[in-house]
Each structure stands twice: as structure tokens, then as C-alpha cells.
């Protein structure tokens, strides 16, 4: 019986020590029990019975529950003129703040969209019917972006075709890490039944620069050179290319986009072509995959004599767009 008393006393003292221990409750639910020895604005240091001394970053701590005040550091003892003895350093394990997650990169999957616009009117003397079909396919990776677009217009007046126009565009953009500069290759094909050239293709390349990035405003400028080819007479025309892409995110549901492609003739100064477009989109569904669209496309060709074909072709449209 005399030997059982010290053992019971040790167990009781251990239980009291555990019950009176400080607690550090970590983000995520884990709890560390021990004695808090110091606190700063960025970290808390605790002596743990099994793990020793641990310094825990504040960002990892949900709550500190202390049963006893943090003891002040002990003053070194001085005997006569002897220098105070340095206490041996206690090894400290550090539990740093969690690192922020890396920024999400592009998912590298293809994104598609289809647009349809249709208007018409008919009375006893006149009938008008307009159709606009458009589609796009886009894919982005860490090193490049690919954009393919198609746009088709068809118009009749009194059962007579007045517009039959197709524009195909392919754009490949090569990105440079940690730089706003990039390079591009752009190819175009256009068919217009009511122009003398009827079919025209072009290929261009050069640098581009992202002047503004992120919401609400994105602006990219590009400049390059290339040539266009007209199938009707087999004519090659060397051209420069200057352009821009602008995206203004108005709010969570709507945005405005603007684009310009300007093609000055290298051999004949003063002659040029341009395509200007302005589009507005607003989400019609909670997910934003169904949108209402409205816009204009203006195409000007200084080579065309007004007495022959139309040198300026302005198109105004509205419709719906689905993304998938």
C-alpha cells in the first residue's frame, strides 16, 4: 500500500497538468496542447510534451485557449562579477503559414459558340430577309492561344439576293512567359458574291502587346506584315497589318468588345482595306451560356471604285448566342 501512493499521486498530477494545458486550435480542426511560452503578431510558440517547442504561424491558428498566463522570460542569474551563463537554446520546430495556391491556368479545352440573327419583313410591294450565322472555336494553353471564327451573311430583297458574304479567320498567338509581348500568325479567307474579287485570302504575322490585362478592361495591340491573294485575277498584294482587340467587362452579365484590322498596301501608298467591328453581349441564362448579342461590322476597301462595287459595306445585326 505504501508503494501505491506515489504512483497514484503521479497519475493525478499528470491528469491535472493535462487538464490545465493551453490549447492551440488549428485551422482544420486539429488541437495542440501544451504551454504557450511566447506570442507575437505573426506566430505563437508552445511547448508540447511530445513534440517539443513549436512555433506556429498565426495564419494556421483558428483560436488560442490559455489556462495560465504566458510566463515572462527568466532573467539570467548573476553571481559576483561573473558573466551570466547563457541558457542552452531550445530547438524550435516551425509550422509556417500555408502557401497561397498557384493561379489557375487555362484548362486547355476547346470552347465553342454559335450565333444566329434573323430579321425579315414583307408587304404587298416589298420583302426583305436577312440572316447572320456566326461561330467560333477557342483553345488556350500556357504557351499559346488558338481562335477560329466564321461569319456568314445572306440577304434578299424581293426574292433577289443582295448579300452573300462569308468571312473565315484563324489566329494563332504565341505567349512569352512573364511578358506582355507575344507573336501571332493570322490567316483570312473571304467570299463575296457581289464584289469583283469574289474570293480573297490573306496571311500575316508579327508581334503583339497586351497593353491592359484583367477586368474590367483588356486591350491588345498588334502589328505585322503579309499579303493577300485575289482568286479572280490571281493578284498578290503585299500588305501591312495593324489592329487591336478591346474587351470591356461592364458587369457580371454584360461586356463590350471592339476589334480593328487595318491593311495598308505596301506598294501603293494611300490604298488600304479595313474591317471594324463592335459587339455587345448580355447573359440571358444563370450560367451565362445563352446570351443576347448586337453589333456592327463595317468593311471599307479603297481599291473599289464607288461606280463599280460598294467600297463601304456596313452590317448591323442582333440575335442570340449559345456557348458550350
Residue ranges of domains in the chain: 4-95, 111-323
Residues 42-89 have pLDDT tens digits of: 999 998 888 889 999 999 999 988 876 655 555 555 555 555 556 667
pLDDT for 34 equals 87
Q: Do domains 4-95 and 111-323 have the same CATH topology?
A: no
Cell numbers found for residue 88 = 542552452
pLDDT, position 97: 77
Q: What confidence tier does 5 reach under pLDDT thresholds 50, 70, 90?
A: very low
| CA–centroid distance for 207 within its chain | 21
Phi, psi angle pair for 190, to nearest 5°: -135, 135
Q: Write out pLDDT tens, residues 213-253.
A: 988 999 999 999 999 999 988 999 999 999 999 999 999 99
Give the count of alpha carbons within 13 A of 187, CB side only.
5
**pLDDT surpasses 90 at 15:** no
Domain at 111-323: CATH code: 2.40.160.40
Task: Please tell me whether the overall predicted TM-score, pTM, comes out greater than 0.75 for this model.
Answer: no
- pLDDT tens digits, one per residue of 142-194: 999 999 999 999 999 888 888 999 999 999 999 999 999 999 999 999 999 98
Angle at 305 between CA 300 and CA 308, to 5 degrees: 110
pLDDT averaged over every residue in the chain: 86
- Report pLDDT for 69: 62
Query: Which one of 3.90.1150.10, 1.10.260.40, 2.30.30.100, 1.10.150.120 gives the CATH number of domain 4-95?
Result: 2.30.30.100
Amino acid at each position: 500500500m505504501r508503494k501505491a501512493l506515489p504512483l497514484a499521486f503521479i497519475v493525478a498530477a499528470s491528469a491535472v497538468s493535462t487538464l490545465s494545458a493551453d490549447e492551440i486550435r488549428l485551422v482544420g480542426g486539429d488541437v495542440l496542447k501544451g504551454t504557450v511560452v511566447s506570442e507575437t503578431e505573426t506566430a505563437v510558440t508552445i511547448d508540447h510534451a511530445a513534440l517539443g517547442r513549436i512555433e506556429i504561424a498565426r495564419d494556421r491558428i483558428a483560436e488560442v485557449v490559455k489556462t495560465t498566463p504566458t510566463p515572462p522570460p527568466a532573467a539570467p542569474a548573476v553571481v559576483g562579477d561573473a558573466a551570466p551563463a547563457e541558457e542552452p537554446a531550445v530547438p524550435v520546430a516551425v509550422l509556417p503559414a500555408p502557401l497561397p495556391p498557384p493561379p489557375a491556368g487555362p484548362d486547355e479545352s476547346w470552347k465553342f459558340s454559335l450565333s444566329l440573327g434573323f430579321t425579315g419583313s414583307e408587304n404587298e410591294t416589298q420583302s426583305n430577309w436577312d440572316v447572320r450565322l456566326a461561330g467560333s472555336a477557342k483553345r488556350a494553353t500556357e504557351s499559346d492561344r488558338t481562335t477560329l471564327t466564321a461569319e456568314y451573311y445572306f440577304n434578299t430583297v424581293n426574292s433577289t439576293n443582295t448579300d452573300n458574304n462569308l468571312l473565315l479567320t484563324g489566329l494563332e498567338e504565341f505567349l512569352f512567359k512573364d511578358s506582355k509581348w507575344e507573336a501571332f500568325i493570322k490567316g483570312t479567307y473571304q467570299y463575296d458574291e457581289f464584289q469583283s474579287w469574289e474570293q480573297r485570302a490573306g496571311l500575316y504575322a508579327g508581334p503583339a502587346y497586351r497593353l491592359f490585362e484583367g477586368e474590367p478592361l483588356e486591350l491588345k495591340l498588334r502589328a505585322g506584315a503579309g499579303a493577300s491573294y485575289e482568286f479572280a485575277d490571281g493578284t498578290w498584294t503585299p500588305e501591312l497589318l495593324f489592329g487591336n482587340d478591346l474587351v470591356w467587362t461592364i458587369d457580371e452579365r454584360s461586356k463590350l468588345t471592339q476589334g480593328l484590322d487595318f491593311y495598308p498596301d505596301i506598294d501603293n501608298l494611300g490604298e488600304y482595306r479595313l474591317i471594324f467591328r463592335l459587339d455587345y453581349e448580355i447573359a440571358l441564362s444563370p450560367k451565362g451560356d445563352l446570351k443576347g448579342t448586337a453589333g456592327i461590322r463595317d468593311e471599307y476597301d479603297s481599291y473599289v471604285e464607288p461606280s463599280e462595287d460598294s467600297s463601304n459595306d456596313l452590317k448591323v445585326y442582333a440575335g442570340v448566342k449559345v456557348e458550350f
